[in-house]
Amino acid sequence: MVLHHIVEAQQFNKKTLQEIFIFADRVKERIERGFPLELLRGKILANLFYVKSIRTMFSFETAMKRLGGEVIGTESGEAFSSELVGATLEDTVRMVGSFVDVIVLRHYQSGSAKRAAEVSPVPIINGGDGAAQHPTQAIVDLYCIEKLMGGVDGVSIAFLGNLMNSRTIRSLVYFLAKYSGIKIYFASPRTLKMKDDLKEYLTEHRVSFSESFDSAEDLMEIASKVDILYLTQIPEDHFGDRICDYDKYREIFRINQNILNRLRKDTFIMHPFPRGDELPVQVDKDPRAIYFDQIKYGQFLRMGLLCYVLGVRVD
């Protein structure tokens, strides 16, 4: 099965993911050997961003250009959508899709990527739609785990911080549920806990998980057990006037020396960036910090993904 559109985590199975990883591996190998990368010469990608995201835009743009392809796009989502008031998403996708070979769509509405995929003459890659999903970022993380741990089966992972609103974590958890022997630990402020739908999904798929709220003690306990500590930023504006609450949680969910001491030697620290107080720069030098590798592997994965959806073989 070759996926034409990359819309949501649920559409993937382990085999498809493995195929995409092989594409990424081959791109990585070619780059490391210094081979020319003209695989996508003559192809054009459109960054169709109704919501701004410099990070996602940059990463796809670079991936495409590293492969010899070209990119069009608009960085300014609001302006774009206001100009095309009167133009439905469907008409815009049809129009842009008649110009280019692949579209990365970022939109403020859940389900937009699916709507786009239904009318688009070219592959759609979901670059984040509404609060729903951000599957490519999650595939990047999965690829990084696969490469650095030698596989995903049997991995134990703790997700910390803003679990309620992290699209990346949501998508990544859906992916993890496809593997066997996964153990998940959710640790967050109670008001930012993981949503029920996803926990139900895990229960249905018999994935082992636990939850912990507001507790520094639990965190120490969890830290000593897991293969991966996956951090996210706690948003200040979530707490409104309750600035003491913010200060309290910021303190609890920050990586400090005590936590570092409790982590095993082979535990990895991941973070999707941007970071806040939860991840002090002092941690950067710790050999267990792999968040800059996440970025590097992300580029290989995105290049592989582009070749994959465009049906271009990488040998």
* Residues of this chain that bind a copy of itself (CB under 8 A): 36-37, 42, 44, 46, 52-55, 58-59, 61-62, 65-66, 70, 72, 74-76, 79-80, 83-84, 86-87, 90-91, 94-96, 98-100, 233, 273-276, 281, 292, 295-296, 299
Shortest distance in whole angstroms from residue 19 CB to a copy of itself:
25
Closest CB to a copy of itself among 3 and 44?
44
Question: Looking at beta carbons only, is 86 or 240 nearer to a copy of itself?
Answer: 86
Nearer Cβ to a copy of itself (21/297): 297
Helix (H) or strand (E) segment spanning residue 78: helix 77-83
In angstroms, rounded to a whole number, what is the distance separating the alpha carbons of residues 60 and 77? 16
Instruction: Please name the amino acid found at residue 158.
Output: A
Cα-only R_g, the chain:
20
Q: What is the C-alpha separation between 162 and 235, in angstroms, rounded?
A: 7
65 vs 183 by CB, closer to a copy of itself: 65
- One-letter amino acid at 117 equals A
Nearer to a copy of itself, 36 or 150 (CB): 36
To a copy of itself, the closest distance from the beta carbon of 273 in angstroms equals 7
Q: In the bound complex, what is the minimum distance in angstroms from residue 137's beta carbon to a copy of itself? A: 13
Tell me, what amino acid is at 221? E
Rounded to a whole number of angstroms, the minimum distance from the CB of residue 116 to a copy of itself is 15
Q: What are phi and psi of 219, to 5 degrees?
A: -60, -40
Query: Which long-range contacts (C-beta less than 8 Å, at least 24 apart) are formed by 84-89?
Result: 89/115, 89/116
Whole-angstrom distance, CA of residue 51 vs CA of residue 141: 22
CA dihedral 138, 141, 143, 149 (to 10 degrees): -140
Nearer to a copy of itself, 91 or 153 (CB): 91
Q: Nearest distance from residue 216's CB to a copy of itself, in Å?
A: 23
Q: How far is the CB of 198 from a copy of itself (least distance, A)?
A: 25
